[in-house]
């Protein structure tokens, strides 16, 4: 691939040097001081080295001293770092913002419209899903990042479902969207999923999704409810959880949990991963992290995992996601260099390298980059991650959507849906009573 310089990138985007002053985009002067970055500690460790190499190369070319510190999401260390720096108005110049962090600190973040506009003129629009978090009050308060961003498709043991449920997920979701049969894809709904679940359970290989206080529980329950036309709140903040659509979705949950392990109520985010890697499970909702560990620890299982679209409900097909963004603090002294570096990290050449380094785990928030070959080539099985990208009619959402982001954050982090569903499926509380409880919780969120 021909190396694309920052200048070539801006020229192609039709905002060359003469236009920089028009959009207020600063240029880095030689010997432009120092920059510090707080980045997410990637679970695919080689990805950390690649991003550091890119940053160091940029720093050397621009005579900027750079320092990179990595923080894990385990124990909320990344979010806690951002919160501490926002409060103290001191710390790193560039900060990685996990899911809701940009919304939480939007008043402390430098508007990045110039970078976002430059990127989109060259590479096309960011996803609507990314705008939900990064575009607030008419401004891009952060730049969507591929690093760490991921989605939650179904990861199916294709051998077990074909043998015991007579459902061939590779045939329904081949590694080429042009070869899909609309009739077969349309037939893949929650009813079909339930019927298949019954059969693989009877064969001794249950499906398993957590109903507990963890991210993975949110990532399948929100898409399920939305596909039935249910939601906790409207985009205006109206409480709409008490509805016939929610009731229908809860009745579905009551049925499907009969064919899942009983310990799903105590699982953390690694519970479903461990379950399918062990060889006992036949399907989970998860990014390719479970597959990656299986490739290391149980290759026989990894070779049978096929990632693909969520089931369709009466109101469509939805998939959950967890997003990362890059931000620059308003108190940063070296904003010119910080913006130039974020633009450099956002161009196609760098994003291409970063996606490759993550073995396809990182999802670009620019659909124009979905054609990266990694998802076709990586395996085994070859093509098993092709549908990890949204290829069909799924709508990608952040759990909590369409509520206003400040309220969606509480809906997500206070585990409203997993708790409501758990009351119905485990505690035996009537669905209507569980919905009333959820509505009261939502009223409390609005008062906070």
DSSP annotation string for 207-249: B----SSSHHHHHHHHHHHHHTT--SB-TT--B--SSHHHHHH
Closest CA to 109 of 81, 141, 145: 141
Q: b/e per residue, 316-332, with b = 16+ CB within 10 A?
A: ebbbbbbbbbbbbbeeb
The predicted-structure confidence for 239-278, as pLDDT tens digits, reads as follows 999 999 999 999 999 999 999 999 999 999 999 999 999 9
Would you list the domain boundaries of the chain? 6-149+322-365, 151-321+377-447
Residue 429, burial from CB neighbour count under 10 angstroms (0-12, 13-18, 19+): middle
Q: What does the pLDDT read at residue 236?
A: 96
C-alpha separations of 19 from 28, 123, 265 in Å: 16, 18, 56
Mean pLDDT across the chain: 93
Q: What does the pLDDT read at residue 224?
A: 98
DSSP letter string over 85-129?
HHHHT-S-SEEEEETTHHHHTGGGBPP-HHHHHHHHHHH-PPPHH
Q: What does the pLDDT read at residue 426?
A: 97
Mean pLDDT of 134-158: 96
Q: What does the pLDDT read at residue 15?
A: 37
Structure-block tokens of residue 64: 């900027």
Mean pLDDT of 394-422: 97
Structure-block tokens of residue 317: 């097909």
240 versus 9: which is more confidently predicted? 240
Same CATH fold assignment for domains 6-149+322-365 and 151-321+377-447:
yes
Cβ–Cβ under 8 Å, residues 335 and 26: yes
What is the Cα 248 distance to its own chain's centre? 27
* pLDDT score of 14 more than 90: no
Superfamily (CATH) of domain 151-321+377-447: Periplasmic binding protein-like II (3.40.190.10)
With H, G, I as helix, E, B as strand and everything else as coil, classify residue 385.
Answer: coil
Look up residue 74 and give its DSSP letter. Answer: G
C-alpha separations of 391 from 19, 209, 216 in Å: 36, 23, 22
6 versus 114: which is more confidently predicted? 114
Structure-block tokens of residue 29: 């002067």
31 band by pLDDT with thresholds 50, 70 and 90: low
Q: What does the pLDDT read at residue 249?
A: 98
* pLDDT score of 1 more than 90: no
Pick 6-149+322-365's CATH classification: 3.40.190.10, 3.40.50.2000, 3.30.70.100, 3.40.50.11740.
Answer: 3.40.190.10
């Amino acid at each position: 691939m021909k190396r694309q310089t920052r200048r070539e990138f801006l020229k192609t985007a039709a905002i060359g040097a003469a236009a920089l002053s028009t959009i207020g985009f600063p240029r880095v002067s030689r010997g432009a001081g120092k920059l510090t970055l707080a980045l997410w500690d990637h679970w695919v460790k080689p990805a950390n080295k690649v991003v550091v190499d890119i940053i160091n190369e940029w720093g050397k070319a621009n005579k900027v001293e750079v320092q990179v510190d990595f923080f894990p999401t385990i124990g909320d260390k990344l979010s806690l770092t951002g919160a501490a720096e926002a409060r103290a108005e001191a710390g790193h110049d560039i900060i990685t913002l996990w899911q809701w962090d940009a919304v939480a600190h939007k008043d402390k973040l430098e508007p990045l419209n110039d970078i976002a506009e430059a990127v989109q003129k060259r590479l096309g629009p960011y996803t609507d899903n990314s705008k939900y978090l990064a575009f607030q009050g008419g401004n891009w308060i952060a730049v969507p990042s591929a690093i760490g961003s991921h989605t939650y498709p179904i990861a199916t043991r294709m051998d077990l479902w074909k043998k015991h449920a007579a459902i061939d997920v590779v045939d329904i979701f081949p590694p080429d969207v042009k070869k899909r049969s609309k009739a077969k894809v349309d037939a893949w709904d929650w009813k079909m999923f339930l019927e298949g679940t019954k059969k693989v359970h009877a064969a001794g290989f249950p499906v398993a999704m957590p109903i507990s206080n963890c991210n993975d529980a949110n990532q399948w329950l929100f898409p399920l409810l939305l596909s039935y036309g249910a939601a906790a709140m409207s985009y205006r903040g109206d409480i709409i959880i008490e509805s016939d659509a929610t009731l229908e979705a809860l009745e579905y949950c009551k049925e499907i949990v009969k064919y899942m392990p009983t310990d799903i109520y105590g699982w953390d985010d690694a519970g479903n991963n461990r379950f399918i890697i062990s060889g006992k499970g036949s399907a989970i909702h998860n990014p390719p992290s479970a597959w990656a560990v299986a490739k290391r620890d149980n290759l026989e299982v990894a070779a049978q995992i096929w990632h693909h679209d969520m089931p369709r409900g009466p109101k469509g097909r939805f998939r959950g996601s967890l997003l990362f963004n890059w931000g620059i603090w308003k108190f940063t002294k070296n904003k010119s260099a910080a913006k130039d570096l974020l633009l450099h990290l956002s161009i196609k050449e760098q994003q291409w390298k970063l996606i490759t380094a993550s073995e396809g785990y990182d999802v670009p928030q620019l659909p124009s980059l979905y054609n990266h070959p990694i998802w076709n080539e990586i395996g085994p099985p070859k093509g098993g991650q092709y549908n990890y990208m949204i290829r069909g009619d799924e709508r990608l959402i952040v759990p909590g959507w369409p509520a206003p982001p400040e309220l969606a954050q509480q809906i997500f982090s206070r585990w409203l849906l997993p708790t409501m569903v758990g009351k119905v499926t485990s505690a035996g509380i009537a669905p209507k009573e569980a919905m009333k409880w959820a509505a009261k919780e939502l009223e409390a969120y609005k008062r906070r």
